[in-house]
Each structure stands twice: as structure tokens, then as C-alpha cells.
Copies of this chain bind each other. A is one copy, B any other.
């Protein structure tokens, strides 16, 4: 009774199909017609929800970023230690990346792509403002090495991306857990004072 395609269902299906196809075949090989077919809707319907292919791409990027951000904020611990909170971010990010391979891959693929507008990137960044605050707190309390906050965030981002991508390629569920832990060790040893 509830599987009958509830209102708004179509938008989700289109987004899901788009993530899958873009990751598998890339941008140019994925036509809007194919996305629509994979999503089980008509060609025209896609344009009812996303006014153009460019809009769709950017929506996808935001969707991915929002998913990740939400996951990071979910169990975000309170005041305890700055290190604990960093630890939480690290593991939550890796866990999300490994659980959502398509969305994660999409993010890395389009991270520095000209298809993603500045606005999109800016919105995604602002959503992760709390991470920046954490870094600032770490610097202020002397827990972190004295490094420009933006550079430190970039390094965090780069390390997580490298770790998840690496573990995704060598699919070994057992090694994954350990890899995340080891990479965390490298990162924290590097930035902590």
C-alpha cells in the first residue's frame, strides 16, 4: 500500500539514477534521457524537477554534501575534548563515504570541476561551518599545531578523501576498519601538538 510512488518520489528516483550513472559512465556519457529511463520517468519529467542538466549536477553536488554534513552533525559530541570531536568527524566522514560510494565518488569527481558553480560550493562550505569553528577552537586552546585554519581543513579533507578512495578501490571490509584507524593516526599525529 505504501510502495505506490508517494509524492516527490520521482525527484528521489532521478537523483539516485543520476548518482549511479554519472559515477559509472561519467558526465558526457550520461544523457538526460538515460537518467530519466533509469529513474523510470519520462524525459520531460526530469526537467520538471531540474530546469537544466547543469542544475541537476549542482543539485546532486549539494545533495551529496548535505548528506555528508548531516551525518557529521548527527552524533557530534558536545564540549569534551577537541581531539574527541575531531575523531568523531574523521570516523563519521569515512563511514559515510564507504556507505555511500556513489555520492562520495561524485563529490571527488566534481570537486574541482567547472560544472559546479561557486554558489553551490559556497553553500556547501557554509553548511560545514561548525568544522571550521572546531579548528579555531583547537588553535586557540593550543591543541593543534599553529597552521592556517583553511590549510588545516584542506588537509583534513584531502586525507579523508584519499583514505576513503583508497579503501574503496581495495574492497576488503576487514582492512577498511583498520585503514580508517591507521589513517586517523597519521592525521592526528600530524596536526596535534
CA distance A170 to B149 in the complex (A): 13
Dominant SS among interface residues on chain A = helix
C-beta contact mask, A13-27 vs B, less than 8 Å → 1, else 0? 000000000011111
Selected from B28, B175, B183, B190, the residue in CB contact (under 8 A) with A28 is B28
Q: Given the complex, which residues of B lie within 8 Å of A99, measured CB to CB?
A: none
Residues of B within 8 A of A155 (CB): 159, 162-163, 183, 186
Q: How far is the CB of A142 from chain B (nearest CB, A)?
A: 16
- Cα distance A155–B158 in the bound complex, in angstroms: 8
A48 contacts partner chain B, Cβ-Cβ < 8 Å: no
The answer to whether A145 and B186 touch across the interface, beta carbons within 8 angstroms, is yes
- Nearest 7 CB-CB pairings of A with B: A158-B162, A190-B190, A26-B114, A186-B190, A154-B166, A158-B158, A28-B28
